[in-house]
Structure 1
Amino acid sequence: MTLLHHHDRIEGDLVIEVAFTDVSLSLGDAAADDVRDEALRQVAEATMATPVLMHQVHGADAALVAGRDAGGPDTCDALYTSQPEVALLARAADCVPVLLADPDTGWIAAVHCGRPGLAAGVVPATIAAVRDAGGHPKVAWMGPHVCGACYEVPVQLQEQVGAIVPASRSTTSWGTPALDLGAGVRAQLAAAGITDVRVVDVCTREDPSWPSYRRDGAAATRFAGAIWSHP
């Protein structure tokens, strides 16, 4: 089975499952079509669900996936659905993959949250979209991402993002201005009333077994957080 990393599940009328793809799978935009198709085939086999990718653009748009054959939109940074047997994927290589679930209704969401998405409020926007659709996310998972001690930024950028999300202000382990994306996301989840937050406590820059754009630049691949449901 491909999705073995940090697997979790919640049982209810529908079973909701969460996992993170094996980093040997190449899910980046730069991957050749046949390589990415094979990765998606393995994801489908592992989840027994139809995987849906998005073309992530560091914005705050959330798109509804209406059915198994609907596919993903051209560009967005969040997907949500109540359709069983659809695996929503949020890709990352330092950004925070955020997965959301309402076990009572079966609504799920996958969010790609980097620095621009944190400032733009992609996580709160997705929660609002799911609520407008009739779901009430109660559980969130945060996948591996760059930590606040490693994500150095210019002081002006720290001030800009920190003014919007104060919890994101940080300092690197070598004493320079930084942002803590994970702390910022946790603050936004708390403000939205989501207190069951399950964090994979791994820094992608520090752990070479995970892709990191900060560490590897353009050579970095992407892993994905996946969430899906089934009877």
Structure 2
Amino acid sequence: MNPSVGPGRTSPFHWEEEVRPGLRVAFTAAAAGNLALHVGSDAPSVQANRRLLEVEMGVPVASLRFMSQTHSKRVVLVDGDRTPTRGPDADGLVSPRGEEPLAVLVADCVPIILADASRSEGGTGATAAVHAGRAGIGNGILAEAVRLLTRAGAHDLAAWIGPSVCGSCYEVPEDMMTDLARDLPMAASRTPQGTPALDLPAAAREQLRRSGVRVEAVAGNSCTVENTGLFSHRRAPGEGRIAGLVWRTS
């Protein structure tokens, strides 16, 4: 969704919804501005974009947790202590009771949000934000995130997959496609020209299914390369990053 939120102003969200009572999940659009310190804009502009986003989310300023993402399979617990703005070197964050607002940054990789059943329903309320690129999917980062959530007591996990490069646009060498498709056949794809490609969202969906996680609908999802309202490294390297977000309102 991309509603107006005021005269002459565009929503920072590509999609945003209360997925459980008091729990919201969102994926930003380029209208939110670049949210990554390592590309594009200067640091003060990025910090300003982050503060504006926190206002839109209704969370305290400087409370949103980010990662320094490295295409690893490292997932870390967020324990309530303040972390540096840059965040830990990791590609997944887990909040054991969902009390910390979490962010994952992407510009073609797959942003994935996970959440346990709410505490009012006997669950932990735990949440996670995961950066699932080709390397992360190949290395099993989603299984690692589910493992940490389960260890924290989660038992009824759902996932929301945000916008990313589609299987028609992610052209790769033949051996790279074949390698990932050995375990995940649905990852194999082709571009309109017939060249080898990878369908990362399909691969992520299958890995979540294997981990016992149900994937819930995200309306209006689209390819980051094809949709100019989103950031894409393949289409415009260094322009910016969108965010997958999860936070609690009550």
Q: Where does residue 27 of structure 1 map in the other structure?
A: 35
Per the TM alignment, residue 11 of structure 1 is displaced from its structure 2 partner at its CA by 3.2
Residue of 39, 44, 49 corresponding to 2:54? 44
The aligned counterpart of 1:18 is 25
Q: Please state if 1:142 is matched with 2:155.
A: no
Take 1:84 and 1:166, find their aligned partners in 2: how far apart are those partners? 34
Q: Which runs of 5+ in 1 are unaligned?
A: none
Counterpart Cα distance in 2 of 1:215 and 1:67: 37
Runs of 4+ in structure 1 off by over 6 angstroms are: none
Identity of matched residues, %? 33
| Amino acid across the alignment from 1:9 | E
CA drift at 1:85: 5.0
| C-alpha distance in structure 2 between counterparts of 1:173 and 1:51, whole Å | 39
> TM-score w.r.t. structure 2 length?
0.85
From 54, 58, 65, the equivalent of 2:78 is: 65
Closer, same or farther: CA 193–225 of 1 in aligned 2, 3 Å: same
Query: For 1:180-195, what aligned pairs fall within 5 Å after superposition?
Result: 180-195=199-214
2:206 match: secondary structure:
helix
1:78 maps to amino acid: G
Q: Contact 1:53/1:88 (CA < 8 Å) preserved in 2?
A: yes
2:8 alignment counterpart: none
Distance between the aligned counterparts of 2:87 and 2:49, measured in 1? 19
* Matched-pair contact (CA < 8 Å) for 1:52–1:89: yes
Q: How big is each residue's C-alpha offset from its partner over 1:176-221, in whole Å with a ceiling of 9 and x where there is no partner?
A: 111000000000011011223324520111111111111112x331
Alignment correspondent of 2:180: 161
Q: Is contact 2:96–2:152 with CA below 8 Å preserved after alignment?
A: no
The size of the alignment, in residue pairs, is 228
Contact 1:62/1:125 (CA < 8 Å) preserved in 2? yes
Alignment-derived partner of residue 130 in structure 1: 149
Asked if 1:6 corresponds to 2:15, the answer is yes
* Change over 3 Å in CA distance of 1:95–1:154 after alignment to 2: same
Q: Structure 2 unaligned segments of length 5 or more: list them.
A: 6-10, 118-122
> In structure 1, how many angstroms separate the alpha carbons of the residues matched to 2:144 and 2:230?
28
Match of 2:128 among 106, 109, 112: 109
Moved more, 205-214 or 92-101: 205-214
